[in-house]
Amino acid sequence: MPPLAADTEPTSALPVDLLSGLVFAQDGKTVLASFEPATLPPETPQAALTTAIASALDRAGFGACRIRDEALVELSRTISVGHPVAAFPVADVLDGEISLTLDVDLMTATLTIFPPRGGDPVDENAIHRALAAHNVVYGVDDEAIRQAIASTTTGTEGGIVIARGKRPVHGQDGRLQLLLEMRSRVPQIDSSGRVDYRNLGDILTVQPGTPLLRRIHATHGEAGKTITGRDIPAKKGKDVAFSSKLEGVSINPKNLDELIATQGGQPVEVPGGVMVEPMFQSKNVNIATGNVVFEGSVTIDGDVQAGMTVKAGGDIEIGGTVEDAALEAGGNIRIKGGVVGSLGHPEAEPRHIRCKGSFSAAFVQQAAIDAGEAILIDDFAMLCHLTAGQRIVIGDKKRGLLVGGVVRAGILVKAKVIGSAAQTETRIEVGDTQELHKERDAIAHVQSEKSAQLGKLVQLIAISKKQPGHLPPGFVEKAESSRLHLLEELEELGQRADLLQQQMDLAATAKVEIESGVFEGVVIRCAGQIYRVNDPRNHGMVFALDGEGELSWR
């Protein structure tokens, strides 16, 4: 670079012509100053002379270089005494520089650019050379490098990440995924918008074959890589297995990672899977537990509080007593204690006990009970409405008292004592076939209609076979399906009619057995015939139809 003379513009520090002999020249990466002596004003301040030299250096185009401050002071001292100066170093020309920092785990490379001071800026090749020097071969961000190059004249304070490694993604552990929504039981809102705190919703139940649980296998994960190209292995997740102690479920033969129910009941999540319990169990049934509605069997260890409802698709077993509650079972109802209802209380809401099988209890009072087969009461039944498809027996090891109310059975009512000294009205009915006759007549009517439909279908099918194309396409297939369906319905109706006939035959043998005595106020109706007890009897007797179809007792 050719020598540059000091700027000749006037300054407030010194007259310009006094520094006219000062020139600067670049030699490689160094700026050199030369000076031919000139007359200076007497007593020129040293600091003012140094400032003037620095200003001249900047005007000469070397202001961006790294100034040697001590050299400027020394130069000003030499000039002030009038000594000549030749090739005196006063500044350095510096090119732009870069610093590349790799983090400890070799997952990032951060580039810092230092701007040039009078020299050349950093270029992209210098950055790539730095990457190569540090063995960075993976995850280089070309866009980040371009952004860094755009900042070479100003520098990159804080640095720019120009390479990123890939962290490993470790495998996920296997898990068991429920295929059912285990809903919470909460108070329900009825149709009028009121909250029913007894009704907490049905208990979740499933049927055989219902998918319950799916096994999600562990994953292997995905390996990572450092910026230097070293692979980082991923950890495989831990697999999970079904427990070997699950009941009521099995592995789906079509999907070995799926559990299905093998029986109907309540699904219960347990460690290692889910079980299906055919029975729902509770200590008590009250407003805290809510009503119980379950498709399987229900066991209550304690009591059922008044106003509650228990419905079961199977049996109901109750270890305590039942207050004024509603019970309904698809099987039997067994109560170790007794039942105290509100029958006869006009202000009470009627609540019934019904089952398709048999009902048994220690005692019943003011309760309405309907059983498909039998009602068995150990101690007493007082002021109740009892209805059983076959028999009602009151009294086993205890008193066996039947007092008041209405008692109906298909073939037998048996008690030790019926009625009371207070002449409480007690009505007993056995062998009443009126309803059986009505149902049998209705079945006969339906059988006649379906038989007529079947006959017409058979005729049409015969015509279509003799005259193909006479009837619409597909008619024969539909007619044949309807014919088979009618045959199934007629078969079911026939079976029901046979059962009704058997019940009517049994009704002819219906009887009322009294072991110890009967009181006035008792009315016995047997196969449509009525007998009123007008005086007490203190001995056992049997009321039944005699050989001529007349009601008699012995």
What does the pLDDT look like over 73-121, one tens digit per residue? 888 888 887 788 888 998 999 888 888 999 999 999 999 888 888 888 8
Least reliable range by pLDDT among 94-103, 152-161, 299-308, 389-398: 152-161
pLDDT at 492 > cutoff 80: yes
d(CA 551, CA 549): 7
Strand partners, 225: 166, 231
Q: What is the pLDDT of residue 185?
A: 44
d(CA 160, CA 158): 7
**pLDDT confidence bin for 5, thresholds 50/70/90:** very low
pLDDT at 244 > cutoff 90: no
**Mean local confidence (pLDDT), 475-480:** 77
d(CA 143, CA 138): 14
**Mean local confidence (pLDDT), 235-261:** 90
d(CA 520, CA 526): 18
d(CA 337, CA 443): 41
Q: What is the pLDDT of residue 54?
A: 86
The amino acid sitting at 264 is G
Q: What is the pLDDT of residue 510?
A: 81
Element (H, E) at 108: strand 108-114
**Mean local confidence (pLDDT), 213-230:** 93
**CA angle, corner 525, sides to 420 and 443, nearest 5?**
140
Non-local CB neighbours of 124 within 8 Å, separated by 6+ positions? 145, 146, 149
Least reliable range by pLDDT among 46-50, 88-92, 545-549: 545-549
> Which DSSP state fits 17?
G
Q: What is the pLDDT of residue 151?
A: 75
The amino acid sitting at 117 is R
Q: What is the pLDDT of residue 337?
A: 93
Cβ–Cβ under 8 Å, residues 131 and 100: yes
pLDDT at 552 > cutoff 80: no
Q: What is the pLDDT of residues 263-317, one digit of tens each?
A: 877 788 788 888 887 778 888 998 888 888 887 788 899 999 998 999 988 889 9
Cβ–Cβ under 8 Å, residues 336 and 356: no
Non-local CB neighbours of 468 within 8 Å, separated by 6+ positions? none
pLDDT at 434 > cutoff 90: no
List the domain boundaries for the chain. Answer: 4-92, 97-164, 175-277, 439-493
Q: What is the pLDDT of residue 202?
A: 60
Q: What is the pLDDT of residue 443?
A: 87
Average pLDDT in the chain: 83
What the block records as the tokens of 354 is 């019904």
Element (H, E) at 498: helix 475-507
What the block records as the tokens of 156 is 């990159």
**pLDDT confidence bin for 16, thresholds 50/70/90:** very low
Q: What is the pLDDT of residue 319?
A: 93
pLDDT at 197 > cutoff 60: no
Q: What is the pLDDT of residue 471?
A: 65
pLDDT at 183 > cutoff 60: no
Q: What is the pLDDT of residue 123?
A: 87
SS3 string, 267-325, reads EEEECCEEEEECEEEECCECCCCCCEEECCEEEECCCECCCCEEEECCCEEECCCECCC
**Mean local confidence (pLDDT), 422-438:** 80
Instruction: Please name which of 436, 401, 432, 412 lies closest in space to residue 522, comparing C-alpha atoms.
Output: 401
> Which DSSP state fits 18?
G
Measured CA distances, 134 to 122, 157, 270 (Å):
18, 21, 55
Name the CA dihedral angle for 493, 494, 495, 501, rounded to a multiple of 10 degrees: 110
pLDDT at 7 > cutoff 50: no
- Token look-up 């003011």 returns 366
pLDDT at 548 > cutoff 70: no
Q: What is the pLDDT of residue 441?
A: 81
pLDDT at 167 > cutoff 90: yes
Q: What is the pLDDT of residue 40?
A: 59
Three-state DSSP at 401 gives strand
Q: Does the predicted model carry a pTM greater than 0.85? A: no
Q: What is the pLDDT of residue 115?
A: 85
Q: How far is C-alpha 126 from the chain's CA centre?
A: 58
**pLDDT confidence bin for 1, thresholds 50/70/90:** very low
Q: What is the pLDDT of residues 349-386, one digit of tens each?
A: 878 999 999 999 999 999 999 998 899 999 999 999 99
